Amino acid sequence: MPSRWEQIVVDAEDPARLARWWAEALGYRIVHEAPGEVEIRRSPDELPGLLFTPVPDAKTTKNRLHIDLRPDDQESEVERLVDMGARPVDIGQHDVGWVVLADPEGNEFCVLASRRQ
């Protein structure tokens, strides 16, 4: 039997702060919080989740794994996320149909165009 995808672990300088940021960005909720880790999910019994754990150093290079978001309205979602503290980043994507942003700790993620476009 194959494994089940439980969660993605995100290294963070401030796990609680970053977990709360992503929970707001995704419409998720905190399902577990303990010293040193915070997990968010869409609902307590729905997998996968994002687990934020502490690391002592700041992020220094491009992510090897990132999240792609697909909103109904790309432009509005990018504006909302930037208003929340995300920032546009250039990772060499050139002229593409998605927008690359970084969360408050610099982790890149993409906001894709709506499938309806």
Q: Is the pLDDT at 117 greater than 70, yes or no?
A: no
Q: What is the pLDDT of residues 19-61, one digit of tens each?
A: 999 999 999 999 999 988 999 999 999 999 999 999 988 888 8
Average model confidence (pLDDT) for the chain?
A: 94
pLDDT at 93 over 80: yes
In this structure, the answer to whether residues 9 and 44 fall within a common structural domain is yes
Q: Structurally, how many domains does the chain consist of?
A: 2
The answer on 111 and 69 residing in a single domain is: yes
Determine the structural domain holding residue 71 and report its residue range: 65-117
Same structural domain, 76 and 33: no
In this structure, are 1 and 53 located in the same domain?
yes
**In Å, what is the CA distance from 103 to each residue of 2, 6, 72, 96, 115?**
32, 22, 20, 20, 23
Q: Which CATH number fits the domain that encloses residue 28?
A: 3.10.180.10
Specify the pLDDT at position 116.
74
